[in-house]
Amino acid sequence: MRTLILAAQDRSRTTLLLLVFLLLAGTAAYWAIPKEANPDVAIPMIYVSMTLEGVSPEDGERLLVRPMEQELRAIEGVRKMTSQASEGHASVMLEFDAGFDPRQALADVREQVDIAKSSLPEEAEEPRVIEVNVALLPVLSIGLSGPLEETQLLTVARRLQEEIEGIPEVLEVEIGGEREDLLEIVVDPLVLDSYGVDFDTLFSQVSRNNRLVAAGSLDTGAGRMALKVPGVIENLADVQAMPVKIDGDRVVTFGDVARIRPTFKDPRGFARINGQPALVLEVTKRAGANIIATIGSVRAVFEEAAPLLPADLEVTTILDQSQTVEDMLSDLLNNVLTAVVLVLIVVVAAIGLRAALMVGLTIPGAFFTGILLIWAVGYTLNIVVLFSLILVAGMLVDGAIVVSELADRHLIEGQPPQDAWANAAARMSWPVIASTATTLAVFVPLMFWPGVVGEFMKYLPATVILCLLASLAMALIFLPTLGGVFSHGRARSQVVISAGGHAYRRVLGWLLVRPGVTLLSALAVMALVYVGYARFNHGVEFFPDVEPDSAQVTVRARGDFSVMEKDAIVRRVESRLAGMSEVKALYARTFAMADEELQLGADVIGVLQFQLIDWQQRRPAREILDDMARRTEDLAGVVLEFRQQEEGPAAGKPIQLEVSAQDPARTLEAVDRLRAAMEQLGGFRDIEDNRSLPGVEWRVQVDREAAARFGTDVATIGSAVQLVTTGLQVASYRPARVNDEVDIRVRLPKSWRSLDQLGRLTLNTPRGQVPISHFVELEPAPKVGSLQRIDGRRALTLEADVAEGYQPDERLQTLVDTFDSLPDGVMLNVAGEQEDQRETMQFLITAFLVALFLMALILVTQFNSLYQATLVLSAIVFSTAGVLIGLLVNGQPFGIVMVGMGIIALAGIVVNNNIVLIDTYNHLRREGLSAPEAALEAGGVRLRPVLLTALTTVLGLMPMVLGVNVNLFAPSLGIGAPSTQWWTQLSSAIAGGLTFATGLTLLLTPCMLVLGAKLGRKRH
């Protein structure tokens, strides 16, 4: 190592030029690296969607779900298969094992879906295979609203959609709330009767006259001519001229018997923004595109289009993730600068301005080199990477402080600057490498974190590892070169020990005489902390609860309501919540049927989304939601569920139970008993399950024998029934202004669309016009809303939130304990957050053990002593008491993810000072000092660098611990910013643990070294 250091010093211009290059390249990488809010996480889920208009849930299960499940079951790596069948639609959600290959999985699913297609009904639409990917979620949602006609609003939205999709960084733009176009042919049933129109003939006539026939080409020898017969429907005139009945020489066309109009399909829901009808443009960016630049380009399109938009049109931003990223970047820079300034103040006070500036230069050097490496490996700059940079800010200078502090001693002793820095770097190279290696050993296992949480959090260890490797180069290569070039020699003088140093030596000297008592006292303090935490803790949670910038109210109601009645109910709720000063935008949506892709319950009739104003100018979201609950508490007939936006990888309600059985009746019984137990125990709120809602459906029972007597069949009767409902599709066409094909449907006038009129319909049969009632009977039956299946079995899911003051894991355990016996044949499975929590805890414990083994390997290699390696590792165990103190003092719950990771990260940081102190002790022992003398001298010599490294790390985290955001340029002070709430638990854990462990390093470690020496003498 000395050879490399001396080579760097001898070629100082090359070394400094390389440093300048790294700084400039890192700065360029910072501006070039794609910036986004959440990491691009590959969620191990693929969704298969199937549509067959009008199919009942039972038939959907039999005709769509089961054939698809049969084929998809053969795919390797499928962990869980959840299916759902509802009216007109069925879906299968595949959840894969952690660490799956998304491309291979998608290819396998598409292959099996292609095989299953042959088993599906011909009338079913093409199955869609959808990859569930965070990168494919909208990054910008812009609402277009106002007192405009629906067609006018849609025209504006489609024009903007085309322009925005022309931006290279934009993947696609969806129009939320858009209704499908329809060409409606309204025919009076009396007219159909009088002309004796036969449905089969009608369908055949239209389909045979709606074709493009490529008639080939004609080669005459004198030239070649292509021929075609253009018979495709292109406009309304083509439809009007379409023949529907031929009688001899007379032809009846649609224009003779019907009213034709371009319209929209029956509404499946409504959307409003601030009370006005609305459409929403949902913009998705390409993977790896810079979110800030992408949304900037979209904004530019709107600014350019502004003069051309209708005067009454209101443009409202519902979601803008670029703002979140910009705030995060701003907070990061502020926190990093604050950390650097605090570190520099401490270092200047300890070792002087010149050395402090050189140490300070290693922070941006390591930062920018780290960012350069992050950019080089293809990562984006997201919230996890940003925090990793804050976490690592205080750790970057540890090696530099140790080297510069020893160089400062050498300079005081009269060594030339170049020799002083070279000797310091060479002497401390192996302790610094060993301490960095132990920190890396802790973070390396975290790279293999499985599941979605692991995919989300893996950016933290990767960033820390890259930055620490960069800081190692800064401390051992660039810093000695800088020191050799810019330091001045000092006159030989004596090292002055401060008053604090003298006091420390007196206390340590007293403790070294009583090492056994010191150890017992430390153990007693640790036990006291554990007992205190058990009594006064703030509970356990999976992921931090962060102040959101949006919230939503789910509106539930039971009954066979029409979409208009549902919208009236949602409007009642909307009117109560409109006009709140802390709400920037209110986006209301009504559903004719619960949206399966949004994973909503069967009784959800609408959702109200609130975009809140800036967190500094309003009350906490929880208080706003409580206020909303008070405003709507007297609304009868509806159940309202208030939820704030969830951050991080966790999703859904914290308690999710899956109940399955071969006999559906037993499943229903088990769910009833579970709900009753939840109500009785208390602590649960917003309990829901996905049982079918009570309701009535009408079944058209066809007497096939009677129908056959009249020369008709089920297909013809079904066509007649469709005239009354959604219309009989006879063809489709593609007009110029629409991207997708438009259905052409024949329907009866609105006054005829009722159950009464259905019985009065007549059919054209070989025996003349016959009333449909001759062979059809209408029967009411219990309605089945939707059917759920998990891994090929019928199942129900029970979900609940936890009331204020309760913890999910505690409530779930209590529920399971009280619910000791299930009905025979019923299976109960805990899913959702609790399942993730259990997996995460298992992984973190495994990672901790692997990290301990790797550290033990490094320490035994460094010290060649099992006792000293065990001594260093024991500091990790003692530091856990400090973690609990940090959480208690800061009033934080024990976060499984954040505190678990904090303890693992702390393990790597805590051992560093112990390594350097023990290395100094061993060095002094080799020089002939006795164990107590060497321990006292090692403590005295390492006091300053130990305090400095600990203090810099703790101060670097302090803004996060206190939830403070200091803007040094404004200047301004922000307290409780959402970006700091993410990391308060982790910061509190590390700061508390490191502070506690530093005291033990300076007092307990020297005593343990003396104790070890005494035990060694007795053995010999």
Statement: residue 690 has pLDDT above 80: no
What mean pLDDT do residues 704-709 have? Answer: 87
Looking at the fold, whether 227 and 249 belong to one and the same domain comes out as: yes
pLDDT at residue 98 in the model: 65
Closest to 418 in 3D by CA, of 470, 493, 483, 490: 483
Tell me the per-residue pLDDT of 471-511, one tens digit each, with 9 for 90 and over: 898 888 888 888 888 776 654 455 566 777 888 889 888 98
d(CA 482, CA 487): 8
What mean pLDDT do residues 722-728 have? Answer: 84
d(CA 310, CA 312): 6
pLDDT at residue 534 in the model: 86
Amino acid making up residue 96 = F
pLDDT at residue 491 in the model: 45
Tell me the per-residue pLDDT of 742-785, one tens digit each, with 9 for 90 and over: 888 888 888 888 888 887 888 888 887 888 888 888 888 877 77
Looking at the fold, whether 469 and 520 belong to one and the same domain comes out as: no
Tell me the per-residue pLDDT of 514-570, one tens digit each, with 9 for 90 and over: 888 888 999 999 999 999 988 888 777 777 777 788 888 889 888 778 888 888 999
Statement: residue 183 has pLDDT above 90: no
Q: What is the CATH number of the domain that holds 765?
A: 3.30.2090.10
Closest to 586 in 3D by CA, of 595, 594, 576, 596: 576
Residues 875/1005, Cβ–Cβ less than 8 Å: yes
Looking at the fold, whether 97 and 218 belong to one and the same domain comes out as: no
Statement: residue 658 has pLDDT above 90: no
Looking at the fold, whether 854 and 981 belong to one and the same domain comes out as: yes
Looking at the fold, whether 938 and 838 belong to one and the same domain comes out as: yes
Residues 938/917, Cβ–Cβ less than 8 Å: yes
Of the CA atoms within 13 Å of residue 937, those in its CB half-sphere come to 15
d(CA 839, CA 833): 10
d(CA 977, CA 910): 29
Looking at the fold, whether 486 and 513 belong to one and the same domain comes out as: no
Amino acid making up residue 18 = L
Of the CA atoms within 13 Å of residue 1002, those in its CB half-sphere come to 23
pLDDT at residue 744 in the model: 85
How many residues in total does the chain contain? 1020
Q: Which pLDDT band holds residue 28 (cuts at 50, 70, 90)?
A: very high
**More confident: 781 or 868:** 868
Q: Which pLDDT band holds residue 646 (cuts at 50, 70, 90)?
A: low
**565 belongs to a structural domain:** no
**848 belongs to a structural domain:** yes
Number of domains in the chain: 4
Looking at the fold, whether 963 and 889 belong to one and the same domain comes out as: yes
For 134, the token pair is 């965070």
**581 belongs to a structural domain:** no
Tell me the per-residue pLDDT of 957-977, one tens digit each, with 9 for 90 and over: 887 788 777 777 777 777 777
Q: Residue holding tokens 């080579």?
A: 7
**More confident: 232 or 109:** 109
Q: What is the CATH number of the domain that holds 99?
A: 3.30.70.1430
Q: Which pLDDT band holds residue 728 (cuts at 50, 70, 90)?
A: confident
Average pLDDT of the chain is 83
d(CA 799, CA 809): 14
**1002 belongs to a structural domain:** yes
Last residue of a domain, one of 459, 477, 496: 496
Q: Which pLDDT band holds residue 598 (cuts at 50, 70, 90)?
A: low
Amino acid making up residue 833 = E
**248 belongs to a structural domain:** yes
For 400, the token pair is 């530099």
**903 belongs to a structural domain:** yes
Statement: residue 835 has pLDDT above 90: no
Residues 472/399, Cβ–Cβ less than 8 Å: yes
**516 belongs to a structural domain:** yes
pLDDT at residue 141 in the model: 87
Q: Which pLDDT band holds residue 808 (cuts at 50, 70, 90)?
A: confident
pLDDT at residue 497 in the model: 67
pLDDT at residue 109 in the model: 92
Looking at the fold, whether 486 and 540 belong to one and the same domain comes out as: no
Looking at the fold, whether 939 and 897 belong to one and the same domain comes out as: yes
pLDDT at residue 595 in the model: 59
What mean pLDDT do residues 148-166 have? Answer: 89
d(CA 489, CA 557): 82
In this prediction the pTM is: 0.72
Statement: residue 21 has pLDDT above 90: yes
**121 belongs to a structural domain:** yes
For 776, the token pair is 């059809």
d(CA 6, CA 423): 10
Amino acid making up residue 816 = V
Closest to 620 in 3D by CA, of 329, 328, 988, 981: 981
Closest to 31 in 3D by CA, of 333, 319, 287, 346: 333
Tell me the per-residue pLDDT of 695-704, one tens digit each, with 9 for 90 and over: 777 888 888 8
Closest to 1012 in 3D by CA, of 546, 499, 516, 485: 516
3-state secondary structure 825-875: CCEEEEECHHHHHHHHHHHHHHHHHHHHHHHHHHHHHHHCCHHHHHHHHHH
Statement: residue 316 has pLDDT above 80: yes
pLDDT at residue 650 in the model: 47
Looking at the fold, whether 96 and 15 belong to one and the same domain comes out as: no
Identity of the highest mean pLDDT range in 65-79, 646-660, 823-837:
65-79
Statement: residue 208 has pLDDT above 60: yes
For 585, the token pair is 């935008």
Looking at the fold, whether 118 and 187 belong to one and the same domain comes out as: no
For 851, the token pair is 């990290």
Q: What is the CATH number of the domain that holds 399?
A: 1.20.1640.10
What mean pLDDT do residues 80-106 have? Answer: 85
Compute the Cα dihedral for 134, 135, 140, 142 and give only its sign: negative
What mean pLDDT do residues 594-617 have? Answer: 76
Q: What is the domain range of residue 105?
A: 44-132
Tell me the per-residue pLDDT of 407-464, one tens digit each, with 9 for 90 and over: 888 888 888 888 888 888 888 888 888 888 888 888 888 888 877 777 777 888 899 8
Interacting residues of 501 by C-beta distance below 8 A, sequence separation 6+? 940, 943, 944
What mean pLDDT do residues 937-944 have? Answer: 85
What mean pLDDT do residues 878-882 have? Answer: 89
Last residue of a domain, one of 496, 513, 533: 496
CA 701 vs. chain centroid, Å, equals 48
Looking at the fold, whether 20 and 109 belong to one and the same domain comes out as: no
Q: Give percent of the chain with pLDDT exceeding 90.
A: 8
What mean pLDDT do residues 729-742 have? Answer: 79
d(CA 544, CA 383): 14
